[in-house]
Structure 1
Amino acid sequence: MAKTGSLSINSENIFPIIKKWLYSDHDIFFRELVSNGCDAITKLKKLDMMGETEIADDEELKVQVIVNPNEKTITFIDNGIGMTEDEVDEYINQIAFSGAEAFLEQYKDKTSDDQIIGHFGLGFYSAFMVADRVTIDTLSYKKDAKAVLWDCEDGTEFNMSESDKTTRGTKITLYLNEDSVEFANMYRAREVLDKYCSFMPVEIFLSDETAEPEYETIDESELTEKDTVIEHIVEPAKTEEKEKEDGTKETVEVEPEKKKVKVLKRPVSISDTTPLWTKHPNECSDEEYRAFYHKVFMDYKEPLFWIHLNMDYPFNLKGILYFPKINMEYESIEGTIKLYNNQVFIADNIKEVIPEFLMLLKGVIDCPDLPLNVSRSALQNDGFVKKISDYITKKVADKLSGMCKTDKENYEKYWDDISPFIKYGCLKDEKFCEKMSDYVLFKNLDNKYLTFKECLEENKENHENTIFYTNDPVQQSQYVNMFKAQGIDAVILKDSIDQPFITQLESKNEGVKFKRIDDELNDSFTEELSEDEEKSLKEKLSETFKKALGREIDIKVQKLKDEKVSSMITVSEETRRMQDMMKMYGMSNMDPSMFGGAGETLTLNASNNLVKYILDNPEGENTELICKQLYDLALISHTPLNPESMTAFIERSNKILEILTK
């Protein structure tokens, strides 16, 4: 038998799902109920603008959050639009019927730019995640409306009756369950409100119903009608004696009489209703940008610079992205991008909106057009989100490339700090890489900044399409000095991101090779040595070093132009990259030759006196000592010695000094 009908929701079945699965964080009810209060006030403002109601000039529109740890309650009070009995029945008693959506539909052609936060009509029910009982006491703005009291336990059975509320707005009281009484604590409530509601578009006030009243003293001239006066205080004029020209003294008034008033402490809103990102960049000073950064991210260091995003078409997006100064050696380079929707905090680092490489930055992004899921905690899968992500990437690239073109001095000053962001972005985002390829800088041995093309030009005469680099100018200082002596340039690449980055550059630029300065020595550093002479010297030295070190090592003999250099370790670029990859995958004990590469090579300088001594005295009294010392000296200029080798090196050095002093 065919049958048609409408699906119905049974609250006994749906509430366990809402309470357990709708929101991942139970503290989210603060955000939802405060947002509802803000919406009620925003609606009232719209109606006032359209002449459908009137707000008194001296009325302060606000949301109050009142905790009572003794009664284990939290109360949310707004003086917004309020609800009639029919509206309570429609918006509260019917789950997921959004009052915000209904209001927007009704006034879609008349509303201003003020945004209403709610969309799904489920936020109110988050209260039942923490409360056994919830009451709503509300009075509509409508003329002759009657106040309504709604009372519900466990989200299943409710009672509605007329209340004696006389002021417009809504009061929601949560009677917390035993697992959630922590939220009635003033400090815990402040922590959660700071997390979710710091930038709500309506002023929010938090108070403790059980706390003793606090007072403050102000000048009488600052007194307003809203102040509760406790005591009038007169501070008498202050005088002092001064000597006159004739030697007599007179009393002079140095501070006049002050009239002060002791009043009940004025409440301070926890919400900044016009955060910096809502303003136009031209309205914001550098001091304001820095102060906002310190406040939001609790970072005592100054940001390097920032990008203010301000877009109205084809979607609404505002925000500020900061490039923080990071100590790469001691700090994580993971940043924080806070995502907001109509000034309501959604989450940190939502990867669908924020490009992965920009997760290294710190900042805020507010996009009312985001397609959020029903709990407002994550995004629905939507092609629109990709457009937002692409826009953010484009704006960052435009800012950086523009800075390089118009403010090269500052761009170079910031480069060492921002280079990891940019290189990571080039690796992760093809469009960003295309935009930034001409604005990636390399610092050379003279601390001069060069572009990729300029690096190729530097060594074009003798080393076309080859860029030499050092990843540790101090450790590899011997090689650096040799390069400088021969007028060959190299760049400094110290960050871990540099290895995959130069590999990408090589793949995108056919024929270009990066070589570390401890790669095999080329003709620029050597003088001609006949093949037969080289073979003979290698055989003699290999045998002597094998005997001294107790093992075979790969030896190469060259005649270096710098006679002072006795020994060096060289490793081909391909082998060294293979070794780095093996270390990364925990394969450091494996022999590189298994993958077609040789290990380290000890290069000996046939022009050096110590090497000549070994050749002339293979069985000499100190030959073994010198061989070991030359090998360790070569290692030290290449990489740090392990503890055992360092101990042996120090003992041997002391022994050599003893021999010299005999």
Structure 2
Amino acid sequence: DGGDSFRIESAEKADRGTEIHITLKAEMDEYTQAHKLRQVIKKHSDYVGFPIYIDGEQANEQESLWRKKPSDVEDEAYQKFYQMMTFDFMPPLKTIHFSTDMPVNLRSLLFIPSKREANPMALRKEPGVKLYSNNVLIKEYCTDLLPDWLAFVDGVVDSEDLPLNVSRETVHNNRLMRQLAKVVRKRVLREIRKMSEKEEETFEKFWAEYGRILKEGFAVDPAAKDELEPLLHYISSKSDGKLITLKTYVERMPEDQASIYYVLGDDISSVKNSPHLDPFKAKDWEVLYFVEPIDAFMVSQWTETQGKPLVNVAGAEIELPEDEEEDSAEESTLSEAAINLFIGRCVKLLGERVTEVKLSKVLKDSPVRLIAPEEGAAPSGYDRIQRLMNQDYEVPKRIMEVNKNHPIIVNLSEKLEAAGDDAASEIVDLTIEQLYESALIQEGLHPNPAAMIPRIQKLLEIATKA
């Protein structure tokens, strides 16, 4: 009658074996069709250890690749299995094949796809690995074995310890599942770490695709920080465009450097020219480039690593050991009256857009820089996050530091001194405005850089007058 009960009775039978007779409900007649039975067997019992026949033909694969020894499997077999499972014809970046019997029985074959975005033709449309119990599929998309920040990993996990009768809906409540998850997660992270140490080219491809996802895991999963921190990689001012770890950075620090320094920006080209790097270039100290939106979010709560403070080079509190030779070489030819006139003009022109205009103690090659005031400032990177998220963004007030030795500042100051403080000077005012807004762009804080175009064109007009 198609109910959920059954009975066992004695029967006369000439040959060995068991026969199971099933009565289907009327609306389930599709399961009498051979093609439907093949679909079910292919999905749930393709790798059971005995053949299954339909109309005299074997319907299951029977041999599971993940139960073989890795040394017995050719790369071509891995590739064929991956393509069959995912319909992704690009080779995976990494194949992870392992087995263990302690603390749980586990056979696993995992893949890291070459691209983060799935092929539109991909067979697997959701995150999660295939979960098997002794070659019988328990769950097609199991998301309980890996955290969200490793959801890009695909493949198969098989455990004989997992009972066949476990409910597919309540797999995540199983104590054994937590043990399996711990083993799988640990192994995947180990393989990624090994890739970063021994396969530089492959890891660079991996980081380009999945680095942001690991950073998101670091930012939102406090329990994962210790696991993920060794995997974080950044380009720096001394890495020649190569990725380095925080550990490598610390190993290269000079003895008189006590902190790890970073600069925030929108891209590598902009941070390379950041005025905040001036004193670090002069001292030949390395600075990490934080150029992804998630980096700004991370540093709002990430203040220490490798036992050392993590410091934004744009901070007002930056104090570096002074070099006597540098001090003597930086004597300015500009009169105090002239530079004071220029600072006063900046204060008058910029008004409430700045909290203060003052001489810089650190600038070398840049005319100005903007720094956050020490009191009442938002956490490092917060203003950049707010601009990126468009949450009622207003340009934050900053301190503008001026380099009195820079040719632009010297020229403007001398013009003001020659003409007098009250004299109108279009070129001075336009240049001050441009210096300020250029600094906003370098900080990633300008809401609309295109608005500068009329001013730039006016400056070009003045500069090209005969």
Q: TM-score, length-normalised on structure 1?
A: 0.53
2:271 aligns to what? 476
CA contact (8 A) 1:371 1:379 kept: no
1:296 lines up with 2:93 in the alignment: no
1:601 aligns to what? 399
Q: Distance in 2 between matches of 1:557 and 1:370?
A: 69
2:309 aligns to what? 513
Tell me the amino acid that sits aligned with residue 343 of structure 1.
Answer: N
Question: Compared with structure 1, are the counterparts of its residues 633 and 441 closer, same or farther at alpha carbon in structure 2 (3 Å cutoff)?
Answer: closer
| Alignment map for 1:17-28 (pairs within 5 Å) | none
Tell me the amino acid that sits aligned with residue 286 of structure 2.
Answer: D
CA contact (8 A) 1:479 1:517 kept: no
Q: Secondary structure at the match of 2:261?
A: strand
Q: Distance in 2 between matches of 1:397 and 1:268?
A: 39
CA contact (8 A) 2:96 2:188 kept: yes
Tell me the amino acid that sits aligned with residue 455 of structure 1.
Answer: Y
1:447 aligns to what? 241
CA contact (8 A) 1:455 1:467 kept: no
| Alignment map for 1:147-296 (pairs within 5 Å) | 169=19, 172=22, 174=24, 176-177=26-27, 195-196=43-44, 199=47, 201=49, 269=59, 271-296=60-85
Tell me the amino acid that sits aligned with residue 514 of structure 1.
Answer: L
2:128 aligns to what? 336
Deviation at 1:365, TM superposition (A): 0.9
Q: Distance in 1 between matches of 2:335 and 2:371?
A: 17
Of the candidates 412, 434, 438, which is equivalent to residue 629 of structure 1? 434
Q: Secondary structure at the match of 1:637?
A: helix
CA contact (8 A) 2:144 2:177 kept: yes
Of the candidates 451, 460, 463, which is equivalent to residue 657 of structure 1? 460
| Alignment map for 1:353-364 (pairs within 5 Å) | 353-364=145-156
2:443 aligns to what? 638
Q: Which has the larger radius of gyration?
A: 1
1:620 aligns to what? 425
| Alignment map for 1:230-629 (pairs within 5 Å) | 269=59, 271-326=60-115, 335-348=127-140, 350-371=142-163, 375-379=167-171, 381-403=173-195, 407=198, 409=200, 412-413=203-204, 416-417=207-208, 419-420=211-212, 428=221, 441-445=233-237, 446-471=240-265, 472-479=267-274, 482=278, 483-484=280-281, 486-495=283-292, 498=295, 506-507=303-304, 510=307, 512-520=308-316, 522=319, 540-541=341-342, 543-549=344-350, 551-554=352-355, 555-558=357-360, 562-563=364-365, 565-571=366-372, 575-577=378-380, 579=382, 583=386, 588-589=391-392, 599-615=397-413, 616-617=415-416, 618=421, 619-629=424-434
Q: Distance in 1 between matches of 2:39 and 2:89?
A: 20
Q: Secondary structure at the match of 2:111?
A: strand
Task: Indicate the larger mover: 553-562 or 193-202.
Answer: 193-202
Task: Indicate the larger mover: 545-554 or 360-369.
Answer: 545-554
Q: Secondary structure at the match of 1:474?
A: helix
CA contact (8 A) 2:128 2:142 kept: no
Tell me the amino acid that sits aligned with residue 454 of structure 2.
Answer: E
Higher share of residues assigned strand: 1
CA contact (8 A) 1:444 1:450 kept: yes
**RCO comparison, higher one (Cα < 8 Å, 6+):** 2
Q: Distance in 1 between matches of 2:199 and 2:241?
A: 15
Q: Distance in 2 between matches of 1:398 and 1:568?
A: 42
Q: Distance in 2 between matches of 1:182 and 1:584?
A: 56
Deviation at 1:314, TM superposition (A): 4.5
CA contact (8 A) 1:339 1:366 kept: yes
Cα offsets for 1:482-541 (capped at 9, x unmatched): 45465221223344554566677645655x2223444446557985899xx999788644
CA contact (8 A) 2:83 2:89 kept: yes
Question: Compared with structure 1, are the counterparts of its residues 289 and 443 closer, same or farther at alpha carbon in structure 2 (3 Å cutoff)?
Answer: farther
Cα offsets for 1:425-456 (capped at 9, x unmatched): 667485x7656765654433323444433312
Cα offsets for 1:308-366 (capped at 9, x unmatched): 131234432111222233459x99xx843222223333335545443454334222211
CA contact (8 A) 2:138 2:164 kept: no
Deviation at 1:304, TM superposition (A): 1.5
Question: Compared with structure 1, are the counterparts of its residues 367 and 655 closer, same or farther at alpha carbon in structure 2 (3 Å cutoff)?
Answer: same
Q: Distance in 1 between matches of 2:199 and 2:15?
A: 68
Question: Compared with structure 1, are the counterparts of its residues 579 and 358 closer, same or farther at alpha carbon in structure 2 (3 Å cutoff)?
Answer: closer
1:143 lines up with 2:14 in the alignment: yes
Q: Secondary structure at the match of 1:607?
A: coil
CA contact (8 A) 1:199 1:272 kept: yes
Of the candidates 78, 89, 96, which is equivalent to residue 7 of structure 2? 89
Q: Secondary structure at the match of 2:386?
A: helix
CA contact (8 A) 2:134 2:159 kept: yes
Q: Distance in 1 between matches of 2:284 and 2:425?
A: 39
Task: Indicate the larger mover: 443-452 or 582-591.
Answer: 582-591
Tell me the amino acid that sits aligned with residue 660 of structure 1.
Answer: A
Tell me the amino acid that sits aligned with residue 67 of structure 2.
Answer: T
CA contact (8 A) 1:559 1:607 kept: no
Deviation at 1:281, TM superposition (A): 0.9
| Equivalences, count | 435
CA contact (8 A) 2:370 2:401 kept: yes
Q: TM-score, length-normalised on structure 2?
A: 0.72
Cα offsets for 1:466-489 (capped at 9, x unmatched): 232445322323128745465221
CA contact (8 A) 2:300 2:382 kept: no
CA contact (8 A) 1:575 1:599 kept: no
Q: Distance in 2 between matches of 1:500 and 1:651?
A: 34
Question: Compared with structure 1, are the counterparts of its residues 470 and 285 closer, same or farther at alpha carbon in structure 2 (3 Å cutoff)?
Answer: farther
Tell me the amino acid that sits aligned with residue 658 of structure 1.
Answer: E
Q: Distance in 2 between matches of 1:534 and 1:323?
A: 63
Higher share of residues assigned helix: 2
CA contact (8 A) 2:387 2:445 kept: no
Q: Secondary structure at the match of 1:475?
A: helix
Tell me the amino acid that sits aligned with residue 434 of structure 2.
Answer: Q
Tell me the amino acid that sits aligned with residue 182 of structure 2.
Answer: D
Question: Compared with structure 1, are the counterparts of its residues 291 and 478 closer, same or farther at alpha carbon in structure 2 (3 Å cutoff)?
Answer: same
Q: Distance in 2 between matches of 1:585 and 1:414?
A: 26
Deviation at 1:290, TM superposition (A): 2.6
Cα offsets for 1:235-274 (capped at 9, x unmatched): xxxxxxxxxxxxxxxxxxxxxxxxxxxxxxxx784x4322
Q: Secondary structure at the match of 2:130?
A: strand
Tell me the amino acid that sits aligned with residue 380 of structure 2.
Answer: R
Q: Distance in 1 between matches of 2:454 and 2:52?
A: 71
Q: Secondary structure at the match of 2:461?
A: helix
The root-mean-square deviation of aligned C-alpha atoms, in Å, is 4.8
